Chains A and B, each alone.
Chain A
């Protein structure tokens, strides 16, 4: 179990992490969501023991980093967002090197390396130099490296960043495999729909503060007072429809696409049918009128947008 209590990180006067609290149960895949500079990486680096918090504490499986840093680091596997590799090493030598750093004896190293390379589909690359691997392969190798000492908690900072679609799918499959193995994972990503598929819990962070945390369903229930409607219009003339929607009090922000409009809506079904009727009565050629389901992206936009409004 991971417990983060009142975590604060200051860089001079800048508050990067502001009293952040977190609780992750064993076997959970926890998605960490936030805009660039929200404090995700700082928080993850503190949890990985790579950064000292200004205040607060992190406990993983009952071990506090400030009390026993060595035992703590043994429970953590960390994969940073940007990382380098030693180009003049072969894949097996690279793994062997990190196995040595984690104190694995020589006999066990080969066995563990073989198993992990198989997990990340790099068994056939054992004798290949690391610098000749593709970006996706390097990411998978780094993931295998972070698992070499069988950590209790795996911290993955943007594991799919910079990957092509195929490599992204491959990474997703590996993460699903880890999920089925019952690993506890903290993962941050900008690809929110992938996170919602993988994660059992999500935490949305904005300006260093935890905005909301819980399962995707729990978070959706918290923000369900706002819905989003999508109106498809024939011909592509959006202006009259936008004008018509703007007159309604229940309509919030409006986004006009090439042949559709998306708008935030706060009201009941009766009001929704009245808006549709109004559009039709104004001779707007509506071809489709539907309520879009809430997803992680819309929740994120909604919550972080609200935070920004409050800040202003």
Chain B
């Protein structure tokens, strides 16, 4: 099987030189420092004993930090994917080949999220230190990784989509960040407004109300995975109790979030591929034309 040449080329360019290894080193160094801080804090606390619960706290913080990192880095890597090719005047050279625009877009998305996923994958050993003390299952880490993958895919798809619409990379990057802000915080604020209005005015139990507009919010997915305690940073992430989302649902909220991400990504990737296609086929127009021809033929037959 042949690797997508776009992925091969983009990864080669990105991984060449000292920048990528340095980025991975700094990132892992930071995460290691974070874990060490938790250890240190627990060991020298006033109680004079090591609290294993602190490792679960550390895991939660790192999980939230990585999600934030995906939200910040992915647009920077993807929002210039197509507009950058246009600015560099290499897009025409790609489009004049018989390689399909869908494969070009998929190649760009994969190459972009591969870099983010490298950071996440490289952090797995650090995250696994939590197993020494318990409180987190391997399945939690796998689910978390699936959520990261889906979130990175969705953000990358938004980035690529905007980079096909806007000619300038800076504009597409701003548009992508605005979209991410809306997904992460806009939907949450909208829900709080909704919560206040429904609760105060109609007196209906909010827990029964579907929270469909939070489906696209990765914080909503993350909150359902991590063990939200009552202390420290993790309590901030305990949005389930904060916003009163139905917890009796059989499907985990992260599943809904991942499904949303995948559907949004497929839609955005398809639209992007269609957008950069130089010679587009409009089914509606063709049908209209066919109708016209058929009409003319039937007139002629009469």
Contacts and interface: CB of A to CB of B under 8 A. Distances in A.
Interface of A: 45, 48-52, 65-66, 69-71, 73-74, 76, 78, 80, 82-86, 88-89, 93, 97-98, 100-103, 105-106, 142, 145, 149
B94 interface: yes
Max chain A C-beta neighbours (<10 A), residue from B2, B90, B96, B278: B96
Nearest to B88: A84
Given A83-B90, A84-B90, A52 B279 contact: yes
B9 interface: yes
Given A49-B278, A89-B9, A73 B90 contact: no
Nearest to A94: B9
Contacts of A98: 5, 93, 97
B228 to A, nearest CB: 44
Contact of B9 (A69, A73, A97, A103): A97
B97 A88 contact: no
B33 interface: no
Max chain A C-beta neighbours (<10 A), residue from B2, B9, B93, B279: B93
B22 interface: no
A83 B87 CA distance: 10
A-B complex: 8 closest residue pairs judged by Cβ atoms? A100-B5, A84-B89, A84-B88, A73-B98, A101-B97, A101-B99, A88-B13, A78-B96
B92 A102 contact: no
B220 to A, nearest CB: 39
Interface of B: 2, 5-6, 8-9, 12-13, 16-17, 88-90, 92-100, 278-281
Given A52-B279, A88-B16, A102 B99 contact: yes
B21 to A, nearest CB: 15
Given A84-B89, A89-B12, A89-B13, A97 B5 contact: yes
A83 B89 CA distance: 5
Contacts of A97: 5, 8-9
Given A89-B12, A89-B13, A76 B280 contact: no
A82 B90 CA distance: 9
21 contacts: A50-B96, A50-B278, A70-B100, A71-B98, A73-B98, A74-B98, A84-B88, A86-B9, A86-B88, A89-B12, A93-B12, A97-B9, A100-B5, A100-B8, A101-B6, A101-B99, A102-B97, A102-B98, A105-B2, A106-B2, A142-B93
Contact of B96 (A66, A76, A103, A106): A76
Given A65-B279, A88-B16, 20 more contacts: A50-B96, A52-B279, A66-B279, A66-B281, A70-B98, A70-B100, A73-B96, A74-B98, A80-B89, A80-B92, A84-B88, A86-B88, A89-B12, A97-B5, A98-B5, A100-B2, A100-B8, A101-B98, A102-B99, A149-B97
B278 A52 contact: yes
A82 B89 contact: yes
B92 A83 contact: yes
A149 B50 CA distance: 66
Nearest to A100: B5
Contacts of B97: 73, 98, 101-102, 149
Contacts of A45: 92
A71 B17 CA distance: 38
Contacts of A142: 93
Contacts of A51: 278-279
A50 B90 contact: no
Nearest to B94: A101
Contact of B279 (A49, A84, A86): A49
A145 B278 CA distance: 20
A83 B93 contact: yes
B90 A86 contact: yes
Contacts of B100: 70
A48 B17 CA distance: 36
A98 B95 CA distance: 11
A84 B93 CA distance: 9
B5 A101 contact: yes
A44 to B, nearest CB: 11
Contacts of B17: 88
Contacts of B93: 78, 80, 83-84, 98, 142, 145
A65 B6 CA distance: 24
A268 B231 CA distance: 106
A113 B280 CA distance: 32
Nearest to B84: A84
Given A52-B279, A97-B5, A86 B96 contact: no
Given A89-B13, A97-B8, A100-B2, A49 B89 contact: no
Given A86-B13, A88-B13, A100-B2, A50 B92 contact: yes
Nearest to A53: B279
Contacts of B9: 86, 89, 93, 97
B7 to A, nearest CB: 10
A52 B280 contact: yes
Contacts of A83: 89-90, 92-93
A219 to B, nearest CB: 30
A85 B90 contact: yes
Max chain A C-beta neighbours (<10 A), residue from B2, B89, B90, B278: B278
A51 B9 CA distance: 26
Nearest to A88: B13
Contacts of A49: 96, 278-279
Contacts of A105: 2
Contacts of A70: 98, 100
